Amino acid sequence: LKQGFNRHLHFTLVKDRNVATPRDYYFALAHTVRDHLVGRWIRTQQYYYEKDPKRIYYLSLEFYMGRTLQNTMINLGLQNACDEAIYQLGLDMEELEEIEEDAGLGNGGLGRLAACFLDSMATLGLAAHGHWTRPRGWVVPSLLPLLGQVEEADDWLRHGNPWEKARPEYMLPVHFYGRVEHAATGAKSVDTQGRAGAQPRGAGVQVVLALPYDTPVPGYMNNTVNTMRLWSARAPNDFNLRDFNVGDYIQAVLDRNLAENISRVLYPNDNFFEGKELRLKQEYFVVAATLQDIIRRFKASRFGSTDSVRNVFDSFPDQVAIQLNDTHPAMAIPELMRIFVDIEKLPWNKAWDITKRTFAYTNHTVLPEALERWPVDLVEKLLPRHLQIIYEINQKHLDHIAFLFPNDVDRLRRMSLIEEGGTKRINMAHLCIVGSHAVNGVAKIHSEIVKTQVFEHFAALEPEKFQNKTNGITPRRWLLLCNPGLAELIAEKIGEDYVRDLSQLTKLRECVDDDVFIREVAKVKQENKVKFALYLEKEYKVKINPSSMFDVHVKRIHEYKRQLMNCLHIITMYNRIRKDPAKLFVPRTVIIGGKAAPGYHMAKMIIKLINAVAQVVNNDPVVGSKLKVIFLENYRVSLAEKVIPATDLSEQISTAGTEASGTGNMKFMLNGALTIGTMDGANVEMAEEAGEENLFIFGMRVEDVTELDREGYNAQKYYDELPELKQAIDQIKSGFFSPEEPDLFNDVVNMLFHHDRFKVFADYEAYVKCQEKVSELYLNSKAWTKMVIKNIAAAGKFSSDRTIKEYARDIWHVEPSNLKIPPPNEPRDAAEHRIPNGTAA
């Protein structure tokens, strides 16, 4: 390793120790680790081409990977050797790891789930690929005193990325705009018998090139290295010399800029037309390139070959499974139909049968506004042929419903892919359901709501299509990497196999009354808290008490996640301390973090309010160190890896029936935090696994919310009846927290009173009382830690390995492999004779 490090420092980076910077040392280490990865990566692809397993393609708008270096060292079993080598070289491993940028490929739970799934698919030996765009920049929120969250572009690739490999040999064209012309005038592209008729030809199209960049995704200790392929947009002609020569320098590079905008940022603001168009372009760009790539690989005869051997598509669903992670990749369905019907000349009905058996759809939300609906006019302008295909799919779908349910016009309207009211829109969730053979929710309660409320007519039509696949997290990153002290303590008690079989954590139930183990668990937690307190002091210039309860609420900022309710509780605690400073108060550090979508006004106002409250609380001498409020700016994976192991109390307080699953709740549980939460999302199953008595559950259940909706939610009633709530709201209204701008939070107050769909006031009293129970238990360190151990012991169900096994068995119809691919220094045919890699499968 030391030789490799020095070789890369000299020959890759062209530096020596006299002039090398810490970033140079990071790159030298990354290239050294990558050397150990590349041979396994190539060997894995050779193995897949030889064995020809069914390929899994996971299409997701986000892959929130975080940092790669440490995760790779852990999965390859190189961590200790690298630590020793770096120590002998006189360098600091932790300093080098901190230099790596978080990959700018996501900002929320959707992308972090996708990243965990890629890790598990590699660990389970599945031939899996992740696909989406490769944005150069991502939106990084920063906090300004008067403006709150302000977005800035951050080029996470400005220093280069040692983990990716450009593949220009696989660059592919993607077509936009134009018009559909038929070879025979007036002929329909599909006849009534489902046969392909005269084939349409695009005219006046704009071509953009998709350049793939591959990133290796190593499994844990099994030598399998899968691929995440990200597409970067390029113009066919970077530079127009004719325009340049006549002095029009902007026009000379306009085509390049327009093309590259497609993959320039991950989330364009879609509050205006151009942003919507760019977002749809981005989504189609990825699926068009990915499907060309999939079909090329399906047709290829051997490793590295460009020759075609399969030209018959009957076996396509047996060789290819495409998972749509939410509705963003939904255009893959009409695109695959276009390829089959227009290019491969398959009859419509056959093409549709193959398409349906290939796709599966994961729903991630029950909120109507989060389900994509694209204006028909926009799709007609950007993708005219695809609109024709969607209309054809819809017509056949509605004909089938009309046959089964004659004269039921309301059912036709509810199940149509096209929404006719006002602006005509395409309901992308309906397209996903109709075009897939399986639809799954991501927690038991969510899947039930999907079947009985959100898509009840579809579930009634095809009940066998709907499934549940409760989310999970990878224990490699979310325990071994981020909390090595706890991981080592668990391994001393039950062995190391739990890393690949998290269900073995149940063995820890035998340790609940072990006083030594209780003390060791508490010690690890305190060490993590001290470390995070030092980080906060360094990065945020705020000093906190490491012995205070770390009460953490980190997730995307959204009304349904109810950061506002947490904020009201902070104000209530503040007022209680001010009212009676001598009264016993359990010291608490409330840490809130998350990003607001660029165009989401209310979420940005919530961030402003939290920071305004923090400013008052943290500078009040009466409060002192009893209560501190911290807002974590630019919350991201690498920051989550610091705060989660240090957390005492995990806030999971969404309105019942609104959170699909959540995965942050699972990470906190695994790392020894107790949960305060509603019976929503995966909290329900966490309570089932650990026992409801071992979580702090409060508030309305789904049926209570439904009943309150039926009766009519009256926020004023709670305001009038709850004095502490009234006091907190009056302080916000009066400008107590914003004296320079007293009306600053009027929008927040008006929302809470007049259009709060998520009923903050209704759960406020139960939440505050539950928090009192939390404080009471925290005073008893031993009882608290015993409950922590019970939660860790119950966390085994929430491994993404378990989730992926269920997808493989029930949706993709593939078997995980328990064979360890031989490393590069062994013959390739040794694979069949290796000992199975523990319990990975």
Q: What is the CA radius of gyration of the chain?
A: 28
- Tell me, yes or no, whether 599 lies in a domain: yes
Percent of the chain with pLDDT over 70: 91
- Tell me, yes or no, whether 831 lies in a domain: no
The CA distance from 279 to 283, in Å, is 6
What is the average per-residue pLDDT within 696-704?
Answer: 98
Within this chain, do residues 86 and 113 fall inside the same structural domain, yes or no? no
**Phi, psi (rounded to 5 degrees) for 93:** -60, -45
Q: Three-state secondary structure along 589-620?
A: EEEEECCCCCCCHHHHHHHHHHHHHHHHHHCC
- The domain in which residue 46 lies consists of 1-51+68-101
- pLDDT single digits (tens) 175-189: 999 988 876 544 344
**DSSP 8-state symbol, 189:** S
Within this chain, do residues 463 and 601 fall inside the same structural domain, yes or no? no
Nearest to 807 by CA among 396, 513, 467, 547: 467
What is the average per-residue pLDDT within 366-378?
Answer: 93
- Tell me, yes or no, whether 839 lies in a domain: no
Contact yes or no for 144/604 (Cβ under 8 A): no
| Rounded alpha-carbon distances, angstroms, from residue 499 to 74, 470, 621, 660 | 11, 19, 47, 26
Within this chain, do residues 133 and 205 fall inside the same structural domain, yes or no? yes
Per-residue pLDDT, 304: 55
The CA distance from 173 to 126, in Å, is 29
The CA distance from 789 to 639, in Å, is 24
With H, G, I as helix, E, B as strand and everything else as coil, classify residue 811: helix
Within this chain, do residues 612 and 725 fall inside the same structural domain, yes or no? yes
Within this chain, do residues 581 and 446 fall inside the same structural domain, yes or no? no
| Rounded alpha-carbon distances, angstroms, from residue 409 to 63, 406, 414 | 41, 8, 9
- Tell me, yes or no, whether 519 lies in a domain: no
Within this chain, do residues 40 and 153 fall inside the same structural domain, yes or no? no
Q: Which of 434, 468, 502 is the last residue of a domain?
A: 468
- Tell me, yes or no, whether 794 lies in a domain: no
Within this chain, do residues 136 and 96 fall inside the same structural domain, yes or no? no
Burial class (CB in 10 A: 0-12, 13-18, 19+), 799: buried
Per-residue pLDDT, 192: 38
Per-residue pLDDT, 535: 97
Percent of the chain with pLDDT over 90: 83
Active site residues: 364, 555-556, 561, 663, 667
- Tell me, yes or no, whether 532 lies in a domain: no
- pLDDT single digits (tens) 573-623: 999 999 999 999 999 999 999 999 888 999 999 999 999 999 999 999 999
Within this chain, do residues 114 and 15 fall inside the same structural domain, yes or no? no
Per-residue pLDDT at 841 exceeds 50: no
Within this chain, do residues 92 and 139 fall inside the same structural domain, yes or no? no
Contact yes or no for 85/20 (Cβ under 8 A): no
What is the average per-residue pLDDT within 233-255?
Answer: 72
Within this chain, do residues 144 and 258 fall inside the same structural domain, yes or no? yes
The CA distance from 316 to 337, in Å, is 13
Residues 6+ positions from 656 with CB-CB distance below 8 Å: 678, 679, 680, 699, 700, 701, 702, 704, 705
675: CATH: 3.40.50.2000
The CA distance from 578 to 623, in Å, is 7
Per-residue pLDDT at 308 exceeds 60: yes
Per-residue pLDDT at 94 exceeds 50: yes
Mean pLDDT of the chain: 93
Q: Which of 468, 491, 514 is the last residue of a domain?
A: 468
Within this chain, do residues 79 and 217 fall inside the same structural domain, yes or no? no
Per-residue pLDDT, 405: 96
Per-residue pLDDT at 838 exceeds 60: no
* Strands 425-427 and 418-419, sheet pairing: antiparallel
Within this chain, do residues 193 and 303 fall inside the same structural domain, yes or no? yes
Per-residue pLDDT at 359 exceeds 60: yes
The CA distance from 419 to 417, in Å, is 7
Residues 6+ positions from 720 with CB-CB distance below 8 Å: 726
What is the average per-residue pLDDT within 731-758?
Answer: 98
Pairwise pLDDT comparison (306 vs 149), residue with the higher score: 149
- Tell me, yes or no, whether 817 lies in a domain: no
Domain tally, the chain: 3
Please state the length of the chain.
841
Residue with tokens 């309906």: 430
- pLDDT single digits (tens) 20-62: 999 999 999 999 999 999 999 999 999 998 999 999 999 999 9
Per-residue pLDDT, 531: 98
- Tell me, yes or no, whether 841 lies in a domain: no
